[in-house]
């Protein structure tokens, strides 16, 4: 009985604690954006005290303004000029182009990048691994293979931000009727998370 109560208490407080810790970490990080404001404009100077989360609002406003500027002709021209300058700096060029391509792929409404949850037989036949399709194999890889292939990301558990890329034959994968969020929950929970609906496996 005591053990059951203890486990029930942990199930209540541990998720709340982790959620609070992560949110506080993000808010504290965003609040550092206030340092770009002149000292006289900061809450401490105007109100006499700091306002937690104000950095999030500032970040939201900056993103909106930047997006509005970048969406018009003048903004796109300025962006192209800036990117051409960055492209001349070796290390900066690599980091910037990689970050932009990854973000564009993840946020894009079209394409297959991180839109499909797949199963592949790995590390051997008979053992299946959850992965995410990141795109089709580039031409240089496709020319060396005899069948249509795709690029997949195989995440590690319980930290799905690390993993590795694999090139697999498209007809050797199976697509899951599962969204990205549910698949990530399965990976992070070591397979113990419950899905909202039973996932069906369809041969591609």
Going by pLDDT thresholds of 50, 70 and 90, the confidence category of residue 176 is very high
Residue 77 within any structural domain of the chain: no
Residue 183 within any structural domain of the chain: yes
Residue 71 within any structural domain of the chain: no
Q: In the predicted model, is pLDDT for residue 15 greater than 50?
A: yes
The answer to whether the CB of 117 falls within 8 A of the CB of 175 is: yes
Going by pLDDT thresholds of 50, 70 and 90, the confidence category of residue 113 is low
The pLDDT of residue 112: 58
Residue 9 within any structural domain of the chain: no
Assigned token pair, 37: 């404001």
Considering its fold, how many domains does the chain have in total? 1
Q: Provide the mean pLDDT of the chain.
A: 84
The pLDDT of residue 106: 67
Q: In the predicted model, is pLDDT for residue 203 greater than 50?
A: no
What's the rounded mean pLDDT across residues 143-151? 88
- CA 166 from centre of chain: 18
Give the C-alpha separation, 202 to 204, whole Å.
6
Q: In the predicted model, is pLDDT for residue 201 greater than 50?
A: no
Q: In the predicted model, is pLDDT for residue 143 greater than 50?
A: yes
* Per-residue 3-state assignment (H helix, E strand, C coil) for the chain: CHHHHHHHHHHHHHHHHHHHHHHHHHHHHHHHHHHHCCHHHCHHHHCCCCCCCHHHHHHHHHHHHHHHHHHCHHHHHHHHHHHHHHCCCHHHHHHHHHHHHHHHHHHCCCCCCCCCEEEEECCCCCCEEEEEEEEECCHHHHCCCCCCEEEEEEECCCCCCCEEEEEEEHHHCEEECCCHHHHHHHHHCCCCCCCCCCCCEEEC
Domain with 165, as residue range(s), is: 117-193
Going by pLDDT thresholds of 50, 70 and 90, the confidence category of residue 121 is very high
Walk across the sheet containing 117-121 and list its strands. 163-169, 149-155, 128-136, 117-121, 174-176, 201-203
What's the rounded mean pLDDT across residues 107-131? 83
Residue 41 within any structural domain of the chain: no
Residue 171 within any structural domain of the chain: yes
The pLDDT of residue 110: 59
Percent of the chain at pLDDT exceeding 70: 91
The pLDDT of residue 168: 93
Q: How far apart are the first and last CA of the chain?
A: 49
Residue 167 within any structural domain of the chain: yes
Q: Which of 77-91, 101-115, 120-134 has the highest mean pLDDT?
A: 120-134
The pLDDT of residue 200: 46
pLDDT in tens, 52-90: 888 888 888 988 988 888 888 888 888 888 888 888 888
The answer to whether the CB of 190 falls within 8 A of the CB of 196 is: no
Give the C-alpha separation, 169 to 52, whole Å.
50
Residue 101 within any structural domain of the chain: no
């Amino acid at each position: 009985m005591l053990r059951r109560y203890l486990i029930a208490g942990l199930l209540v407080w541990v998720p709340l604690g982790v959620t609070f810790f992560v949110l506080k970490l993000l808010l504290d990080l965003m609040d550092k954006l206030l340092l770009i404001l002149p000292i006289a404009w900061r809450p401490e100077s105007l109100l006499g005290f700091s306002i937690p989360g104000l950095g999030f609002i500032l970040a939201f406003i900056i993103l909106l303004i930047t997006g509005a500027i970048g969406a018009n002709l003048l903004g796109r021209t300025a962006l192209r000029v800036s990117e051409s300058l960055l492209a001349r700096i070796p290390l900066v060029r690599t980091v910037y182009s990689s970050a932009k391509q990854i973000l564009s792929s993840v946020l894009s409404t079209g394409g297959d990048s991180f839109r499909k949850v797949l199963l592949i037989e790995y590390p051997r036949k008979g053992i299946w691994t959850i992965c995410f399709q990141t795109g089709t194999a580039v031409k240089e890889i496709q020319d060396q293979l005899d069948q249509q292939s795709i690029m997949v990301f195989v995440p590690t558990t319980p930290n799905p931000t690390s993993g590795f890329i694999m090139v697999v034959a498209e007809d050797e994968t199976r697509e899951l009727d599962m969204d990205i969020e549910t698949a990530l929950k399965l990976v992070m929970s070591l397979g113990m998370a419950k899905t909202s609906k039973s996932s069906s496996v369809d041969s591609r």
